[in-house]
Amino acid sequence: MSDLKATVAETTNGFHVEGYEKIEYDFTFLDGVFEIQNSQLHRLYAPWGRCLAIMDKNIYDIYGNDMQRYFDHHGIELKIHQTMIGEKAKSLDTFTNIVDSMTDFGIIRKEPVLVVGGGLVTDVAGFACAAYRRNTNYIRIPTTVIGLIDASVSIKVAVNYGNYKNRLGAYHAPMHTLLDFNFLKTLPEAQVRNGFAELIKISSCAHLPTFDLLDEFCEKLIMSKFGRMPGQKEDIKAVADEINRNGIFEMLKLETPNLHEIGLDRVIAYGHTWSPLHELTPAVPLRHGHAISIDMAYSATLANSRGLLSDSEHRRLLNLFSRAGLSMDHETFDEKVLDKATQAILKTRDGLLRAAVPNPLGNCTFLNDVTHEEMAGALRRHKNLMKEYPRNGAGIEAYVDASDTGYSINQVPVENHMNGASSSDSVEVSKRHILPNGVVSGLKGLAANGHTGLPALQEQR
């Protein structure tokens, strides 16, 4: 939430306005957010007696009954707008679908919307709240590793536009974020791996003790879903909780003095120099964690070539990406894309590259004087290095699939739209007032190599 205090004074030729915005929001670690005995969530909605939830379809399928039971028990009316938001559907169409649900619900000026899902869902729904009456409150319950570790920290909300990530957006803080890592027990392993990249990001540039833990327990953390799988030993859960808390705290310490990104030298932008453009370059988008891991691995090679990162640290970092099954290279990450992405990020960063790189591991520096020739040479060297790694540096389950991608056209499922259905065919599908948003069951067959079906879907869009 924010509170603006401002003054106005006369000047010789007019007036001078000076204002200061107070931003405050809370984080609560809570296992079992929808368990009846946990009162934290219902207390936030008790003053209103009702709740509109923007909820990830996958999460609803698993936890929807628990959520309904929770709100029913506490006497709070619940309406749910289900959505699936992948990178291709992180769009203005999805944004307006959410806005339509807010209008249908009749959101009151300061009434908070509840947003439940991964980072893509919280990004788009948060942007809808930022735009709705210019400032509508919301509460976040992130459900993925990326959502919990990375997206929960920032107050940035956005949609993609054209071939650029997060081109349209705002800075809009939630009232509260509830952090329930128990959601990870039902998260696909591919998504756990996806979020692991964010922890490598922050630890390799800002917190070496956390990097050491990731390095020591990498495979166990991913396979046990950060200690949340049933039957896991308490020691791995304790390690995971330490990593997660440290990761969030480090990112908060780095972000809170710069919530509106006035300062453009940002440690947590490691891996985000060339990835914003490259993430959407393949026929099917790369998962965010894989896109930034390619950027981070290449940036580490660039830093090593400059002598900023020792050979042993460079290899240690690359080995961790490989062990985690994260991408370190991709066939479309070539000199042409590198140059195009560089030109794009220079515009975003006021004409300077500001490429964050480890120097040494656990610390960060920013590169501004890298020439095209140096970047191209580092890329050629990096691709040669990748020949020494499994899969030539390609990641495991690197592309978005039906577990994290939904495509919608005016609230009509794509398969219906392609059969000639109209927007009037969109109906309320449950006595619980679930508002559909084009959930695409037909995408379950999307192939891991990223080529099945997408061109037709893009053509329809």
In-domain check, residue 443: no
Are residues 246 and 167 part of one domain? Answer: no
Cα 351 vs. chain centroid, distance in angstroms?
26
Tell me the pairing of strands 364-367 and 355-358: antiparallel
In-domain check, residue 114: yes
Q: Name the domain boundary from 342, 363, 393.
A: 393
User: What is d(CA 222, CA 376) in angstroms, rounded to the nearest whole number?
Assistant: 33
Q: Residue 454: is its pLDDT beyond 60?
A: no
Quick one: tokens of 194?
Answer: 């996806």
Q: Give tens-digit pLDDT for 342-394.
A: 999 999 999 999 999 999 999 999 999 999 999 999 999 999 999 999 999 99
> Considering only 124-128, 292-296, 424-428, which range has the smallest mean pLDDT?
424-428
User: What is d(CA 255, CA 135) in angstroms, rounded to the nearest whole number?
Assistant: 21
Are residues 198 and 176 part of one domain? Answer: no
Q: Characterise 290 by phi-psi region: left (phi > 0), alpha (psi -120 to 50), beta (else).
A: alpha
Name the nearest CA neighbour of 315 among 213, 386, 220, 243.
386
Average pLDDT over residues 210-236: 93
Interhelix angle 189-206/311-323, rounded to 10 degrees, is 160
In-domain check, residue 346: yes
pLDDT at 155: 93
Are residues 195 and 180 part of one domain? Answer: no
Number of H helices, E strands in the chain: 15, 15
Structural domain that includes position 139:
2-185
CATH code (residue 10) = 3.40.50.1970
In-domain check, residue 89: yes
CATH code (residue 329) = 1.20.1090.10
Whole-model pTM: value is 0.82
Name the nearest CA neighbour of 27 among 162, 184, 180.
180
In-domain check, residue 460: no
User: What is d(CA 453, CA 445) in angstroms, rounded to the nearest whole number?
Assistant: 9
Are residues 210 and 159 part of one domain? Answer: no
In 24-155, the DSSP E strands lie at: 26-29, 50-56, 77-83, 113-117, 138-142
User: What is d(CA 206, CA 225) in angstroms, rounded to the nearest whole number?
Assistant: 24
Q: Are 188 and 59 in contact (CB under 8 A)?
A: no
* Residue that has been written with the tokens 């705002």 in this structure: 170
User: What is d(CA 209, CA 290) in angstroms, rounded to the nearest whole number?
Assistant: 23
In-domain check, residue 419: no
In-domain check, residue 290: yes
**What confidence tier does 435 reach under pLDDT thresholds 50, 70, 90?**
very low
Q: Characterise 75 by phi-psi region: left (phi > 0), alpha (psi -120 to 50), beta (else).
A: left
In-domain check, residue 181: yes
Are residues 301 and 336 part of one domain? Answer: yes
